[in-house]
């Protein structure tokens, strides 16, 4: 999920820190857990840099190359980030899961019952299937109150599986989405990354000067690191909100609410209480502070925590790699539910007024995946409802197929961990590659 380097010089576990002050900075986002390292930029230490030593043209050229490489990496990883966000945001209660499982089972049975292509009856089978005469008539599905659920809108994707590649294929095949939808929110994410790179090291250096700390081994240095990442994450949180809305909204021109990042930011500010509400409303503030505090602690203080256990990476590399794998797994188990709940809160507008101004007519936010019709009231409420409404597994549903399916009462943690198996597999792959490549790759 994240690497273990600190962000200050003098740490023996960060051998390249003195060569590159921006190394170790990460793409702090709700959709991607992988860290994108920065390399090739000149040293610009704030404590001893003199203006006459700075080659402005070279610095601008280096930063332009860095920004270009960052944009390329963002575009390459964005389809998988979009898939992860959609899986996290979609509301998949038990009745929807059961319906999807039943439909998949019927399709499998229909394929098995198809006549042999050499049989003359095969062509009659194809005509019947094409005209819809062979389709089974299923009963209307109801919610836990007994009301018939409305049919899925045409712009809404069907129930998505947890695999990212399968979600990517579904998005591409959806008539109202297509391949361009895989790059929704990419420019917003890129702007967020660039601003984070520019602001966070400077704020960390200022806090380090104030506290008299210049590395993350000391308590003061760790405090400066975590505080700077939390402050910058909170400052840039409107961009995270905008990215989630852009990814989740329908791409259909008839149903699209936001035309771009600036338009989304303007409408959110106008309709949902202004930036003050985005920054200080408990609905957004509490998840943002918790998310960035935990992420900074897990991603940047890992080597320090492992060091405190007495495990040396050079004397005991296998033990250090195992401890790193345990640390990454723990970070994933703690962070994924927070990211999932926060993405769902961001995907639900909280309108204060719906008046129009100028050419902007009010439009309802129409997501391309199913979301809860009952808004979540906060982080705790969102986590509890996911546990209560989306906890049963597909295997449990098939075992209880004869029983009536309701939307509540299937308690479990499954809904809080979309894509968990893939992330665990990636952590295990990094663990294995650490023994093949360089020793520092383990971290």
pLDDT tens, residue by residue, 146-156: 444 456 788 89
Q: Hunting for tokens 């930011």 — which residue is that?
A: 265
Mean pLDDT of 327-355: 90
Residue 292 belongs to a domain with what CATH number?
Answer: 1.50.40.10
pLDDT for residue 65: 92
pLDDT band at 103 (very low <50, low <70, confident <90, very high): low
Instruction: Give 100 or 300, the one with higher predicted confidence.
Output: 300
State which of 42-56, 376-390, 393-407 shows the largest mean pLDDT. 376-390
Mean pLDDT of 153-177: 88
Q: Is residue 49 part of a domain?
A: no
Q: Is residue 268 part of a domain?
A: yes
Q: Is residue 390 part of a domain?
A: yes
pLDDT for residue 261: 94
Flag whether pLDDT at 99 surpasses 60.
no
Q: What tens digit of pLDDT does each residue of 272-285 get?
A: 988 888 899 999 99
Report DSSP state, residue 175: T
Q: Is residue 50 part of a domain?
A: no
Flag whether pLDDT at 263 surpasses 80.
yes
Mean pLDDT of 76-81: 92
The rounded distance, in Å, linking the Cα atoms of 239 and 275 is: 11
Angle at CA of residue 85, ends 387 and 175, nearest 5° = 115
pLDDT for residue 203: 92
Q: What are the phi and psi torsion angles at 142 (to 5°)?
A: -125, 160
pLDDT band at 291 (very low <50, low <70, confident <90, very high): very high
For the residues of 67-130, what is the DSSP string, one character each?
HHHHHHHHHHHHHHHHHHHHHHH----HHHHHHHHHHHHHHHHHHHTPPPTTSTHHHHHHHHHH
Whether 193 and 70 have beta carbons less than 8 Å apart is answered as yes
Flag whether pLDDT at 68 surpasses 60.
yes
**Of 81, 39, 41, 301, the residue nearest 192 (C-alpha):** 81
CB atoms within 10 A of CB 46: 13
In the chain, the number of structural domains is 1
CA dist list (Å): 406 to 138, 145, 156, 380, 410: 17, 8, 22, 22, 8
Q: Is residue 33 part of a domain?
A: no
Q: Is residue 202 part of a domain?
A: yes
Q: Is residue 31 part of a domain?
A: no
Flag whether pLDDT at 372 surpasses 70.
yes
Helices (H), 212-316: 219-235, 237-248, 261-271, 274-280, 282-300, 302-308
Structural domain boundaries, residue 249: 56-107+148-349+364-442
Whether 60 and 54 have beta carbons less than 8 Å apart is answered as no
Instruction: Give 382 or 162, the one with higher predicted confidence.
Output: 382
Instruction: Give 10 or 161, the one with higher predicted confidence.
Output: 161
Both structure tokens of 122:
């095969």
The rounded distance, in Å, linking the Cα atoms of 201 and 189 is: 19
pLDDT for residue 46: 39
pLDDT for residue 144: 42
CA dist list (Å): 234 to 8, 238, 263, 325, 380: 22, 8, 21, 29, 20
Q: What tens digit of pLDDT does each residue of 233-257 get?
A: 999 999 999 999 999 999 999 899 9
Burial class (CB within 10 angstroms; exposed 0-12, middle 13-18, buried 19+) of 82: buried
Percent of the chain whose predicted confidence (pLDDT) is above 90: 33
pLDDT for residue 126: 62
Flag whether pLDDT at 401 surpasses 50.
no
pTM: 0.73
The rounded distance, in Å, linking the Cα atoms of 60 and 66 is: 10
- Across the chain, mean pLDDT equals 75
Q: Hunting for tokens 């509490």 — which residue is that?
A: 286
Q: Is residue 187 part of a domain?
A: yes
pLDDT band at 404 (very low <50, low <70, confident <90, very high): very low
pLDDT band at 128 (very low <50, low <70, confident <90, very high): low
Mean pLDDT of 104-130: 56
Flag whether pLDDT at 369 surpasses 90.
yes
């Amino acid at each position: 999920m994240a690497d273990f380097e600190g962000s200050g010089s003098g740490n023996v576990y960060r051998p390249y820190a003195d060569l590159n002050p921006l190394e170790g900075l990460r793409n702090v986002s709700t959709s991607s857990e992988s860290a994108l390292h920065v390399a090739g930029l000149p040293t610009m230490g704030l404590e001893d840099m003199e203006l006459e030593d700075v080659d402005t043209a070279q610095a601008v050229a280096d930063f332009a190359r860095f920004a270009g490489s960052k944009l390329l990496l963002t575009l390459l990883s964005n389809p998988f980030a979009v898939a992860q966000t959609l899986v996290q945001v979609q509301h998949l209660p038990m009745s929807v899961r059961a319906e999807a499982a039943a439909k998949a089972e019927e399709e499998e049975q229909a394929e098995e019952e198809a006549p042999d292509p050499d049989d003359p009856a095969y062509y009659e089978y194809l005509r019947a299937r094409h005209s819809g005469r062979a389709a089974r008539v299923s009963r209307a599905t109801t919610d836990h109150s007994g009301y018939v659920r409305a049919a899925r809108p045409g712009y809404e994707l069907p129930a998505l599986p947890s695999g990212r590649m399968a979600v990517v294929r579904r998005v591409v095949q959806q008539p109202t989405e297509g391949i361009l939808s895989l790059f929704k929110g990419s420019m917003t994410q890129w702007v967020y990354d660039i601003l984070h790179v520019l602001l966070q090291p400077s704020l960390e250096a200022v806090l380090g000067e104030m506290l008299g700390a210049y590395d993350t081994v000391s308590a003061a240095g760790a405090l400066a690191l975590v505080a700077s990442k939390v402050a910058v994450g909170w400052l840039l949180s409107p961009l995270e909100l905008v990215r989630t809305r852009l990814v989740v909204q329908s791409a259909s021109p008839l149903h699209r609410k936001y035309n771009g990042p600036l338009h989304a930011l303007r409408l959110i500010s106008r309709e949902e209480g202004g930036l003050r509400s985005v920054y200080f409303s408990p609905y957004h503030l509490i998840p943002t502070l918790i998310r960035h505090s935990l992420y900074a602690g897990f991603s940047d203080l890992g080597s320090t925590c492992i060091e405190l256990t007495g495990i040396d990476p050079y004397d005991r590399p296998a033990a250090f790699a195992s401890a790193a794998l345990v640390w990454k797994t723990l970070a994933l188990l703690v962070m994924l539910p927070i990211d999932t709940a926060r993405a769902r809160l961001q995907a639900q507008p909280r309108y204060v007024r719906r008046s129009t101004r100028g050419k902007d007519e009010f439009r309802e936010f129409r997501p391309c995946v199913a979301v809860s019709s009952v808004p979540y009231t906060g982080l705790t409420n969102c986590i509890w409802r996911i546990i209560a409404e989306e906890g049963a597994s597909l295997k449990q549903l098939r075992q209880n197929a004869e029983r009536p399916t309701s939307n509540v009462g299937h308690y479990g943690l499954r809904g809080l961990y979309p894509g968990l198996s893939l992330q665990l597999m990636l952590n295990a792959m990094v663990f294995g590659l650490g023994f093949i490549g360089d020793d520092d790759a383990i971290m």
